[in-house]
Amino acid sequence: MRLNAALPWRWIPPITAPAATQMAIDRWMLQQLLAGGPPMLRLYRWSVPTLSLGRHQQRWPSQWREEAVELVRRPSGGRAVLHAGELTYALVFTPPTRDREAVYRHCCHWLQQALAHAGEPLHFGQASPAAAAQRSSCFATATAADLVSTRGAKRIGSAQLWHGQALLQHGSLLLDPPAALWQRLFQADPPALAPLPWGPEQLEQQLRQAAEEHLCPGGLITQPLSPGEWAAARELEPLGCV
């Protein structure tokens, strides 16, 4: 898939924050794109273990509210994701096509390149969206939106929100999910994944380099959120949890 112009992308440096703040920043990014702003990319972590529910996910186990995790609604689709022992990415841009599978492949290519460099080649899943919708956990199935290791373990789950021609896509890169909490929430073991050879900072550096080479044709310009942008994003924070 070719982009129409080599626009520079804005890189928002990694942020660790509560669930409501992270979701608000993602919504703010999409608003900025719709208002004529540049495409953007960021990585982030969650300050406490959190379950994010897909935009249309209406059912989930009642015992989730009894666990020591936050619950928040994502703006994108898909099923529940446990944000603990993982790294989340979010990007906004205007693809030249609405072919969702082609867009997923384009938007995940940089992730494939980065993980291949770490000795973890990934391929896209093959489960149907209908099959995935029957499960409460995003990582219980792997569709054409997701990346799976050669051993069959799902490493990255991604989801989208379209607003006209504009796209918000974000996803979760599993690193070392807490097994006991995962088992309590999903009644299953987490995917059996090999550890990556990088620490947190090197992982972020490798991902940024891969994005510059395989996602952002005009390069990445580092620009943290300004105080005014922080204030605008916080106005979009959801009121409470799910």
Of 108, 138, 216, 241, catalytic: 138
Query: Do 156 and 171 form a contact (C-beta atoms < 8 A)?
Result: yes
DSSP code for 197: S
138 is catalytic: yes
b vs e for 116-149, b when ≥16 Cβ sit within 10 Å of the residue's Cβ?
Answer: eeeebebebbebeeeebeeebbbbbbbbbbbbbb
CA distance 55 to 226: 28
DSSP code for 80: B
**Which class for 164: exposed (0-12), middle (13-18), buried (19 or more C-beta within 10 A)?**
exposed
Which amino acid is located at 233 in the chain? A
The half-sphere exposure of 134 on its side-chain side, counting CA atoms within 13 A, is 5
Catalytic machinery residues: 138
